[in-house]
Structure 1
Amino acid sequence: MLFSSCFVAASALVGSAFGAPAQHSERAAAVVYDSETGFTFAEHKVAYTLSASIAVRVAVPSSAQAGQPYDAVFQIIVPNQVGWAGIAMGGSMVYNPLLVGWANGQQTQASTRWATAHAQPQIYNNAQLQKLTAGNRANGTHWQFTVKCTGCTSYQGRTGSTTTLNPKGGNRMALVISNGKPQQPSNANSNLVMHEGPIYWTQSFPEGANANFGELVRRNGGTTTSDGEVPTNGSVKA
């Protein structure tokens, strides 16, 4: 698929085009305190145009340990020109959880997906999203969603072995965008339209550690879960 001109420029700045050798950014994430939700996030920005960028933010519990599953809060901020955006938790389009979202009027939609081939990804029922009561909006310049995910940080990949994102280090991730809206924007389970080539980077998580993670989740209308809880839903209206 051909790139849009704006994202080609972004690709040259921060990543690689689909099919080209990947160029990975491994710099420390920016520390961003979000006064609206109270979370401290580790932020990575991807240039979209010379004047606009896409922000990927991650917050994790300070108590999270390497090799153990944990909840995480993701906040994605996207320019209005983008129809939908998605984050690959393992830095691949296949065999890892995909967190996707888009604007629908003044609201946003978000869901988790899973793909086993470069084809339409399906709803991923081994992850559960909870919309937070703050940090979700669409306006004249951008849209953003803020969700807590149970099941995004630990998953079984292609071989059946378990991969767990390291809360104390860097994790390879990927971003895809499309200028086209999903086929049914009002439906969080909608089929997606073709996306542009991915941008890869290494997302540092420690900058987004929150000692009061559970308290902040509850303050923003979410619930905390145990590591052993089996998620039941992969989508949410945000």
Structure 2
Amino acid sequence: MRWNLGLTCAAALFGFVSEASADIFRDPDTGFSFSQKDVPITTNNDYITFRIAIPSPAPAGQPYDTVLQIVAPVVANWVGVAWGASMLNNPLLLGWPNGASGVVSMRRATTRTAPAVYTGASVQLLKTGTKSNGTHWQVTAKCTGCTQFTTTGTTTKSLNPAGSNRLAFAYSKTKPSQPGSDSSPISVHDLFGYWDHDFASAGNTGFQDLVDKNL
């Protein structure tokens, strides 16, 4: 069973099956229109869905906020997104389930060790888009500082709001040791990978109003 079918099942459980398409997801819960990508994580055809929303218009070459929504099967006990498509020297947004809700955390690694809590970017959980059931969990969060950041030295990377950006992910089957804390230690990931995400179709007018509505 491919994830498009699995996503349909998960969507039915979460009450949004009719809103999904191949590339765009219009979320009836939060009101955001997301650009989405389904990324395989196991040989059993489990997928994680990554959805991104940005302001419209968003300034090229300048920082702008983004909303990330992660829908993951329960086999994934934490999921991380690397905005610079590498484990090292870029913001890492982590999310995991915590009972009926979820936790998000900003991290950064400069060496190949467990990433430390990162204060150069901030993340804010959107409660309306965060939930779980017996098969999947979902977190939705606004990130400030994820679309423009310093990599090494004085080198700055900016994500193109009008095109495709290379991102990376990691996930683990092991729960964070303190799942209620956004600074909890995490285990080594079981899998990592990359994908190209279309930001051009992620624009939302009234972006900040939608954020405020969903806090």
TM-score > 0.5 by shorter chain: yes
State how far apart, in whole Å, the 2-side matches of 1:140 and 1:62 are: 35
Which of the numbers 185, 189, 205 marks the counterpart of 2:199? 205
Q: Is residue 58 of structure 1 aligned with residue 52 of structure 2?
A: yes
Contact 2:174 2:187 in 1 (8 A): yes
Which of the numbers 34, 43, 50 marks the counterpart of 1:41? 34
How many pairs align?
Answer: 194
What's the TM-score, normalizing by structure 1? Answer: 0.78
State how far apart, in whole Å, the 2-side matches of 1:179 and 1:52 are: 13
Q: How does 1:4-83 map to 2 (within 5 A)?
A: 30-49=23-42, 50-83=44-77
State how far apart, in whole Å, the 1-side matches of 2:121 and 2:177 are: 23
**What RMSD over aligned residues (CA atoms) do the two structures have, in Å?**
1.5
What's the TM-score, normalizing by structure 2? Answer: 0.86
Which of the numbers 85, 94, 99 marks the counterpart of 2:93? 99
Tell me the SS of whatever aligns to 1:206.
coil
Tell me the SS of whatever aligns to 1:215.
helix
State how far apart, in whole Å, the 1-side matches of 2:67 and 2:209 are: 13
State how far apart, in whole Å, the 2-side matches of 1:197 and 1:104 are: 21
Q: Which amino acid aligns with 1:40?
A: S
CA shift, 1:48, in A, is 3.2
Gap regions ≥5 residues in structure 2:
4-21
Q: Is residue 169 of structure 1 aligned with residue 163 of structure 2?
A: yes
Q: How does 1:159-198 map to 2 (within 5 A)?
A: 159-198=153-192
CA shift, 1:104, in A, is 1.6
State how far apart, in whole Å, the 2-side matches of 1:181 and 1:145 are: 15
Q: Is residue 147 of structure 1 aligned with residue 141 of structure 2?
A: yes
Tell me the SS of whatever aligns to 1:134.
helix
Which of the numbers 86, 106, 119 marks the counterpart of 2:113? 119
Structure having greater relative contact order (Cα 8 Å, sep ≥ 6): 1
State how far apart, in whole Å, the 1-side matches of 2:76 and 2:50 are: 14
Gap regions ≥5 residues in structure 1:
1-9, 11-28, 222-238
Q: Which amino acid aligns with 1:102?
A: W
Contact 1:65 1:168 in 2 (8 A): no
